[in-house]
Structure 1
């Protein structure tokens, strides 16, 4: 691998991926808004280069990604956010905040980086298993990740003739600063270290779709195959009523 670019590299899964790839001697372009964290990373890993920008700012993102220190072969678009609605109450401003990061921010980095894509490159986009089943209070997060999944799967179709691989990553619950804010039970929660291993293993094998943990994501995928009425009944019984 000639190198990897990772967005959202200052926290959670992105941070762990940056550390793990850099520890393996891979040249890493670590992207994020937190300059202090990125500078600490670059001081710890000789192969890591920080790129500080806010991906919700299209102009700033374009400026930074226009002239890269090197062109990576692997692009991991991981930055994202999660907020939950109050039960049964739609909050448009919350919806916008989540979509600005998860969907528009993703679009910004793809638009800015696509000028560098070449045959043999590999793009990885982190979605969520929440995109496959309607879950309580996830109107904003789930809808944004459904949009991410659709965008990524469309890129798979459009970039295949150019010999550019696209992988879509569907994690379950991973223990990160983001999920630490959750006030509900998170079934089959896994560590960020395991999440990084699952992702790196799947990407090394060029898997088009990467699901983990297998038991939890497989269960939700099976539920997602059922009629919507049945899906809603199951999630209401086990996730709402308990």
Structure 2
């Protein structure tokens, strides 16, 4: 397969690029860190190509991606996380996170979609954080909730073109981004685990890839409870 992966300079995206290349696929690794991208291409020079750009920059993103053709699989995994201190409410935080997690991801979709053929697969990476109103997660959680909704709507509208659309909802994954968290992260998994779960889910054609299974299932069950219960549970977890 010919695969495009954003966020490939660290975390889940980087592991996916390496694992798909090891399997013999052709990967176009996208990210901001040119040095890391060069290191990736050196590991698999005949299988990994790279594009250096910032998905938050619309002009850069469109220029880099809109000429790509013959793509079988797109995995949009680039994202950032910030936690809100409600006592020092900063609306600019929403702008920063949304610019990458929502608008940047949509710039990628805009650039790639015209050239995606029947049978291709578009995968958007969200988070299980969308399932409950977690403390301080107003910004990050809402951005991932938006991505999940967009994914489901794209699945509806792209079905007639024969393009499959899937969402990925990871739990806590040990990455440079989560390393900044100063709270307990239950059932945290490695990037190797995350990559394996995503690749297996994609291979099976799953529309919603959530992991680890126990953690994701627990949150999905809690999300079905009355909203007052959800708030009470989240408050208890935050105390």
Q: TM-score, normalised by structure 1?
A: 0.96
Whether the aligned pair in 1 keeps the contact of 2:2 and 2:25 (CA below 8 Å) is yes
Whether the aligned pair in 2 keeps the contact of 1:88 and 1:137 (CA below 8 Å) is no
Partner of 1:240: 238
Partner of 1:107: 106
Partner of 1:36: 35
What are the superposed Cα offsets for residues 34-68 of structure 1, whole Å, 9 maximum, x if unpaired? 11000111011120000111111111111111223
User: What does 1:32-181 correspond to in 2, within 5 Å?
Assistant: 32-45=31-44, 46-68=46-68, 70-181=69-180
3-state DSSP of counterpart to 2:232: helix
Whether the aligned pair in 2 keeps the contact of 1:87 and 1:136 (CA below 8 Å) is no
- The unaligned stretches of length 5 or more in structure 2 are none
- The unaligned stretches of length 5 or more in structure 1 are none
Q: Give the Cα separation in 1 of the matches to 2:43 and 2:184.
A: 35
Q: Give the Cα separation in 2 of the matches to 1:87 and 1:216.
A: 27
What are the superposed Cα offsets for residues 106-130 of structure 1, whole Å, 9 maximum, x if unpaired? 0100001111111100001000011
- Runs of 4 or more, structure 1, over 3 Å off, are none
Aligned length: 238
Partner of 1:197: 196
Q: TM-score, normalised by structure 2?
A: 0.97
